[in-house]
Amino acid sequence: MKLLVSGCSMTHGAELYNNFMHPENVKRSYSQHLADHLGLELLNVALSASSNEYIFHSLIEELNKHNDIHSVVVMWTTLSRLYWKSNNRHYFFLGGFASSMINPVDFKMHDLTVDDCWFTGDSNDIVKRISEFHKFIVTDYFDQEEELTKLRHYRTALQAVCHIKELKLVELTWEFIGEKATKYGQHPNAEEHKHIAERIYKEYYENT
């Protein structure tokens, strides 16, 4: 049986081994600690810098693929994030950050800072291109009310699917991690990931 987990960098385990994406991050993340505690195989599809749209679709895709899911843990991310994939290339746009690469795992990073915004990618050319479009996207695409509406729809649909499949669903946000993550967007360290797993188990699995 599998524990299915999705989220952004907080759930992937960013910075535990590699700053962005690497399988070793997942092995050291709260999701692996929780899966080990439950005696389940981990299926973690979290993507660093991803959006709630990605998180929702990644879970639905895996729920359609597998018939041996024990339960689902989702950690929704902050609003105003845009992620898409085009021609086998990943694009990530946030308020003060944008990135693009073909392979998010352990890529050779090029970066550029413009007006306190940080741009990264796997080539100088793509970094320059995303830096030119960043301001337009964060100014004209993001709308807080629209993002909240989308998140409500994602949650409602995911809850319905898990209910139909009779699967336990644990929904979390950054607030669950604590003030450091919520206020400063800092990633949990290795010890904090262990504590997060313990809290999830005690609050959502123990005696249920």
Tell which wins on pLDDT, 181 or 108.
108
Give residue 181's pLDDT.
77
Domain ranges of the chain: 1-80+145-208, 81-141
pLDDT > 90 fraction of the chain, expressed in percent and rounded: 90
CATH 3.40.50.1110 for domain 1-80+145-208, yes or no, is yes
Question: Which of 25, 21, 22, 150 lies closest to 79 in space, CA to CA?
Answer: 150
Amino acid sitting at position 101: M
pLDDT beyond 80 at 143: yes
For the entire predicted model, the pTM comes to 0.95
* Cα angle: 150, vertex 205, 168; to 5 degrees: 45
The total of other beta-carbon atoms located within 10 Å of residue 92's CB is 25
**3-class secondary-structure state, position 76:** coil
